[in-house]
Amino acid sequence: MTPEQLFADLLAREPGRPFITYYDEASGERSELSATSLANWVAKTHHLLGTELGLGAGDGALLALPAHWISIPPLLGVLTAGLQFVDDPGSAEVAFVEPATLSAAAGVPDVYAIAPASARVGFSGSAPAGAEDYVSAVRPHADAWAGVTFGAGPGDPCVAGRSRAGVLEWARERAAELGLAAGARVLSTRDWAQPSDWVDTVLVPLVVGGSVVYVRNCVDADVLERRASQERATAVLRS
């Protein structure tokens, strides 16, 4: 069993159920993606990595992205393609960044940038120097989940010296530590500063068959409480 299999299982079980609900309290954005919608993005990313770039098990991916709905397709795309996550650009064949973290990918052969303020359309031809627009790069690729073939097995490396099976066990342990019940709806205000953050905000909800609510740029405790009530959150992970 691998972390990416968790998503495949959710997709097979409840394809139309929302998995990500995203709020940006500064811009007023609210976006929601079902498992099926997310799978379309993940499949495109998977094919970018495996078919176009020829990457697979053992290759390194650097992830320097914010906690945002557009960051989950690169995360799951890397997992399905079989790459491992690294924090040293010298060990990475590909990197996914936002403009604010572009310098973290210095020297990486292929760098793709997301545009948090216009996530669905990307940079509209004005990607940061040294990076390609992620949305434009994945757009030509097939989005059918049936074309996704997992590129690594449970014993292959994943992140922080852990195998893919080890990361899955890490997520299960965290779900138990957080006291999450089956189907938990996890609201998070945490950014992705390190792997433990995306494990908690993506893989842990998957472990329990739940879903994720991201709330960014929220400085008002009353607003956060209202979002938790509106979205029927059963757990809150704060910054």
Q: pLDDT tens digits for 136-191?
A: 999 999 999 999 999 999 999 999 999 999 999 999 999 999 999 999 999 999 99
Q: Is the pLDDT of residue 30 over 90?
A: yes
CB 3 within 8 A of CB 164: yes
Tokens of 149: 């073939």
For residue 239, what pLDDT is reported?
75
Per DSSP, helices labelled H in 21-118 are 35-47, 72-81
Q: What mean pLDDT do residues 88-109 have?
A: 97
Share of the chain above pLDDT 90, in %: 97
Q: Is the pLDDT of residue 76 over 80?
A: yes
Which among 19, 91, 88, 27 has a CA at the least distance from the CA of 60?
91
Q: Is the pLDDT of residue 51 over 90?
A: yes
* DSSP β-ladder status, 18-24 and 29-34: antiparallel
pLDDT, the chain, mean = 96
For residue 23, what pLDDT is reported?
96
Q: Is the pLDDT of residue 4 over 90?
A: yes
- Position 160, amino acid: A
In the structure, what pLDDT confidence band is assigned to residue 234 with cuts at 50, 70 and 90?
A: very high
Q: What mean pLDDT do residues 229-233 have?
A: 95
What's the rounded Cα separation, in Å, for the pair 44 and 24? 25
In the structure, what pLDDT confidence band is assigned to residue 205 with cuts at 50, 70 and 90?
A: very high
